[in-house]
Amino acid sequence: MKLSFIVPVYNTMQYLRKCVDSLLAQDYDDYEIILVEDGSTDNSAALCDEIASSSLASFHHSIIPIRVIHQSNGGLSVARNTGIAAAKGKYICFVDSDDYWQHNVLSGLMVQIERDQLDVLRFKYQNVRIKNEGMNELINEREYEVFNPYKRDHRLENDYSEEVTDGITFLNSRMSTACYAVLFIVRRALLFNDLTFDIGHLTLDNDECLFTPGIYFEDTDWTPRMLVKAQRVASTNTVVYNYLQREGSITKAVNRSKQQKVLDDKMRLIGEMQRQTEELKSKCLNNSWFSRMIADTVISVIGILSVDFYNERKAYLAQLKAMNIYPLQSKSPKAKLINFSPRLAVEVLHIKNR
């Protein structure tokens, strides 16, 4: 089998059927769909079973297998890792269960992958939003580059060239600091070296390219680790993925405990990226993407400290200083102020936001 779609499912019953239908409406038939039902509290679990059993996914006189894996809630990273372990495809592709694919685009992607013997293929996406309260009324908005929240100037835009390059070059020269795991088709063997089974329990012996459980921003953590390992990477200018903008995003969390976790996971992400920066530097390899991403994340942390965690600012500023991340590699005015004095930057933003 050539490809496995991995679809984590958690409380998305109103979107799931549209998602699966879009994956079935492709001009290709050598693939499977794995629904990893992650302990939903709505009727998503029953809907997964219904979709898998009722359709048998007949398409162009072929059978597209749909498998359902039920597990207790472990979060998106754990669900994706479950799908990776269960996949039968040579390649894998992640799809969020509230999003959907364009129809009849898969064949062209697989032709490019096999023609160029790619480890990784990236494609484009577009944002869609709910027009009003009706769940079925979706309208297309603008393409990816316009929505890129980290876009600063032309050097940071994504480059969708089909030219094949290694993953480190791709990361540094063709990726902005906005990265999403759902925008890649990845050769499954890239993610680990060996699988062993111990009394039915799956162990991934080499898991540096799996998702880190229990964190927010798992895509930003995973994508560079995956790309650094890849040898043959390219893009396509084809718009493939429809990303649904809806309420409830963790990045818009208002709950205090979630805000705390967002902040702490950003700090954790900075530390991990700094580790990778030093590792690449020791090998005399380009680490410019990590430097840009560290700068953007630190700017975000300083903003959070100036508003929601002002009373805790001293402890977090001390942690940032200990990470040896300054000066930030960014030309933005905020970065320049932070490089001059992180403490002053927090105070200035605190006064400005009062």
Average pLDDT, integer, range 216-241: 95
One-letter amino acid of 59: F
Choose the weakest-confidence range: 117-121, 202-206, 263-267, 334-338: 202-206
Average pLDDT, integer, range 112-122: 98
CATH no. for 3-246 = 3.90.550.10
pLDDT of 112 reads 98
pLDDT per position as a tens digit, 285-340: 999 999 999 999 999 999 999 999 999 999 999 999 999 999 999 989 999 999 99
pLDDT of 37 reads 98
| Cis peptide bond prior to 333, omega within 30° of 0 | no
Residue 198, classed as helix, strand or coil, is strand
Phi, psi of 286, deg, nearest 5: -65, 130
Distance of alpha carbon 170 from the chain centroid: 16
State the pLDDT confidence band at 133, using cuts at 50, 70 and 90: very low
**Residues paired with residue 201 on neighbouring β-strands, in sequence order:** 198
Instruction: Please name the residue that has the structure tokens 């979709």.
Output: 51
Domain boundaries, the chain: 3-246, 254-353
Q: Which residue has the higher pLDDT, 232 or 62?
A: 232
pLDDT of 209 reads 75
Q: Residue 247's CB: how many other CB atoms inside 10 A?
A: 6
Choose the weakest-confidence range: 64-78, 143-157, 164-178, 265-279: 143-157
State the pLDDT confidence band at 354, using cuts at 50, 70 and 90: confident
pLDDT at 150 over 50: no
Q: Residues 329, 295: contact at Cβ < 8 Å?
A: yes
Choose the weakest-confidence range: 71-80, 89-98, 207-216, 313-322: 207-216
Q: Residue 120's CB: how many other CB atoms inside 10 A?
A: 23
pLDDT of 229 reads 93
pLDDT at 155 over 50: no
